[in-house]
Structure 1
Amino acid sequence: MKVLRGNLHIHSDQSDGTLPVPEIAGIAQRCGLDFIGINDHYAVRQDHQYIGGVLVLMGTELNRRHSHYLAYNAPVQLPPDQQDGAVVVKAVRDCGGVGIIAHPFEKGSPVISRGRHYPWKNWAVRGFDGIEVWNLTSQWRDAVAGYVQALLMWLCNKYMPFYSGPCPEALAKWDELCQTGHVTGVAGSDLHAPQRRVLGITFRILDYPLLMSAVNNYVLVQELQGDARADACAVLGAFKRGRCWFAFDKLAPAREFSFVALGREEGTLGDVVQRRGSRVRLKVASPLPGRISVLRNGLPALAKEGQRLEANVAEPGVYRVEIKLRRRGRWLPWLYSNPLYVK
């Protein structure tokens, strides 16, 4: 299997971003990314392409006032005033696309965009493929309570809001959803990089290189073919199946991670593994020494400091991995895997 590293939920100048797609792809290449996901609002044209060696997944973002939904391979056209989450989920699913709930618990800031926020409203709907557990722009915005705080964060440590890890509500909802079905957790940048001009100087807020080097997704795929359409389908299929993890790359890249279960057969992220007799052996390999935690149904089950964790488990359930790294005397959230399912 091949590991690809990429950044999802990016806007270009075709909607409310500030750079054309080729320039964004160039930045992605300089950041060491293998793929990016473009999600311009209500984009109809979704032709995947390679630009400078970077696979560009052309998707869209649906709905406006709330219940935003990222979609790929789904050339659906819906009325601009349509806001029902169930409608967009069904439309994307009916055409065979891949759909991901965006920034589900966004709260907004009183000093940014007049407090506007776009949470997901309808949790009774089913049929979506994934959920953004970590949305960087939302997290940054939600952390800002006033202008002075925003200025200090921007000048002193632009990455500060990300050191707390993903949105707790989204993480809990993801664990809940996985109890009744396969739902993939992803990270999204929600990159817009709006331009501002102060004292004659033009600059971008939360610009493309900043967020592309912050939190990224890693997917497991078979060898790529070099054909944009086929390779995009392979990457999106891996996301849909849950063969992925995401990590705070500003701390360290996380390409060399693995999580497998040995039961009647061997399985990895996204797989269902039947117990052999009454147990399954779980094996975690971390790219770096850290604090490894295995969660079962959202609750701590196993923990160990180091680079390897192996243990037998008897209880069926949904198992996923979290890893923290120690930096400057603190354990910081770093890596979050998608689950495997023990039966």
Structure 2
Amino acid sequence: MKSLVAFSFLLVFYFLFGFYLNQFDTSIVPRQLSAAHSSNYYDYKGVMNVHTDLSSGSATPSFVITSAKLANLDFLIFTDLNLFNMPTSFESYHGNLMVLSAGKYSYLDSRLIYYSLSQESIGSSLGDAQVTLADLLSQKTGANKDSLTILAHPYKAGFTWSGEIPSGLDGFELWNLKSLSNRAWQDSKLSTIWSFLIYPFNPRLSFLRLYSEPTDEIALLDKLSMERKIVVYAGAEANARAIPLANYFIRFPSYKRSFEIMSNHVMLKSELTGSFNGDRAKIFNALKQGNFYMAMDILGDPKGFVATIDDEKQSYMMGSEMKFKKGMVLKVKLPTTPKEFFEIVIYRNGEAVARINEAETSFPITAAGVYRVQVRVTSTMPIPDAKKWVTWIYTNPYYVHP
């Protein structure tokens, strides 16, 4: 009887506390029905590293596409694992959503994401794919203009890349949802279990509690960007199969939820027109060149954010290479002032050179180097947690040559 009473008390407490958590808003900016583009660029949000039931996912491509629409994505990139006959019929516009069919392939102990703008086949078997990838990786940086080769989750347990990063690799995932979750489990199993328990009441808070900075990936970015141009990406690793033995019955976390956590925000000088071939080339080139930033969207819609390096004649977006000139400035503008304490951090050659607590700033570029921008905010957590720093935005680097 005492055990039943104690269990009943805990159950009541759990649901009452869950009601409290349900009211807790994690957003750092006011929610808007429709955010505006920045004044000079068009911002298009997309997700990559997505699996369907054609490989390791739990739902059909059509279901995933519907989930992406509900998450208000502008583009979606399928990356089914070791699949060599991905239906090309999905690569098109689905309403306002652009869908691209890429692939994710086993290579050594790691995983590589590959997409060909010219629809060139990677091969009919894993052996063929590995030969093609080995050839691409051995090329000079930027030599292949029509393909995109990305290292997925470089430090995920069991898939860590070993050795030097090959010159032919376009970039790697700075953020990967599954890697972040795995690290949280390794750091504190109890905290991870607590996040799982509060997920039904506040999924956004559940994830934010587990967030930690991708320090290893950041160190790799700073090291490589001093040697050559490198691009970093956010990967959803979406398959909705986090619960063992519950696949196809309980899709957790749902595709829609995974798509709402973080994304890549491509910056274009001209808007998408609805013509698939032309728009696909625009998105591909932006992803290839690094003309985008990564955002933790669960903190708030970053649309309207812009960061450029300007001289007297030209404005350069993230991912650009340019020659140093006197009078250059790095301009950063947030879409609005966050409700919580925040800072815009400007890095040069991997070291922080400025921390600004204003929604709009101009930082003078006085020397050549590799620059990047990080926007951090303090996210207030309900008891038993406290405030913690969380990155809202990472830009790709700017390469200012002597």
TM range (shorter): 0.7 to 0.9
Structure 2 CA distance for aligned equivalents of residues 129 and 215 of structure 1: 21
Q: Partner letter of residue 198 of structure 2?
A: C
Is 2:360 aligned against 1:308? yes
RMSD: 2.7
**What is the CA distance between 1:60 and its match in structure 2?**
0.2
Distance verdict in 2 for CA 1:162–1:5, change over 3 Å: farther
More strand by share: 1
Partner of 2:96: 53
SS at match of 1:131: strand
Q: Of 236, 250, 257, which aligns to 1:189?
A: 236
Which of residues 213, 231, 247 in structure 1 aligns to 2:295? 247
- Who is 1:296 aligned against? 348
Question: Aligned with 1:134: secondary structure?
Answer: strand
Q: What does residue 261 of structure 1 align with?
A: 309
The corresponding residue for 1:272 is: 321
Contact in 2 for aligned 1:261/1:282 (Cα 8 Å): yes
Q: Which runs of 5+ in 2 are unaligned?
A: 1-40, 200-205, 381-386
CA contact (8 A) 1:68 1:101 kept: yes
Distance in 1 of aligned mates of 2:373 and 2:217: 16
CA contact (8 A) 2:348 2:370 kept: yes
1:66 Cα deviation from its structure 2 partner:
1.8
Asked if the contact 1:93–1:128 (Cα under 8 Å) also holds between the matched residues in 2, the reply is: no
> CA contact under 8 A between 2:64 and 2:255: conserved in structure 1?
yes
Paired residue type of 1:67: S
Q: Which residue of 2 aligns with 1:102?
A: 152
Q: Across the two proteins, how many residue pairs are aligned to each other? A: 332
Residue 156 of structure 1 aligns to which amino acid in structure 2?
I
Larger Rg: 1 or 2? 2
Question: Taking structure 1 as the reference length, what is the TM-score of the superposition?
Answer: 0.87
Q: Which structure has more RCO (C-alpha within 8 Å, separation ≥ 6)?
A: 2
CA–CA separation in structure 1 for the residues paired with 2:78 and 2:335: 28
| Secondary structure of 1:306 counterpart | coil
Residues 12 and 65 of structure 1, relative CA distance in 2, 3 Å threshold: farther
Tell me which residue corresponds to 2:330. 282
**Larger displacement relative to structure 2 (78-87 or 50-59):** 78-87
Describe the shift of the 1:286–1:203 C-alpha distance in structure 2 as closer, same or farther (beyond 3 A): same
Cα distance change on mapping 1:93 and 1:150 into 2, 3 Å: farther
Q: Pick from 170, 189, 192: which aligns with 1:129?
A: 170
TM superposition shift of 1:319: 0.7
Aligned counterparts, 1:143-182, within 5 A? 143-145=184-186, 150-157=192-199, 158-160=206-208, 163-165=211-213, 167-182=214-229
Contact in 2 for aligned 1:8/1:38 (Cα 8 Å): yes
Which string of whole-angstrom CA distances, capped at 9 and with x for unpartnered residues, describes residues 135-192 of structure 1?
0012112321487554322112531465323x21111101211112221111001111
- 5+ residue gaps in structure 1? 108-116
Q: Mean Cα displacement is larger for which, 242-251 or 135-144?
A: 135-144
Question: Which amino acid letter does the alignment assign opposite residue 61 of structure 2?
Answer: V
Return the TM-score normalized by structure 2: 0.75
Q: Which has the higher helix share?
A: 2
Secondary structure of 1:187's counterpart equals: strand
- Identity of counterpart residues, as a percentage? 23
CA contact (8 A) 1:153 1:160 kept: no
Compute the displacement of 1:336 (Å).
0.3
Query: Following superposition of structure 1 onto structure 2, how do residues 55-94 of structure 1 map, counting pairs within 5 Å?
Result: 55-63=98-106, 66-73=109-116, 74-77=120-123, 79-80=125-126, 86-87=134-135, 89-90=137-138
Report Cα offsets for 1:89-129 as digits up to 9, x if no partner: 3599768311111000112xxxxxxxxx2122342411111
Cα distance change of structure 1 residues 61 and 122 upon mapping to structure 2, 3 Å threshold: farther
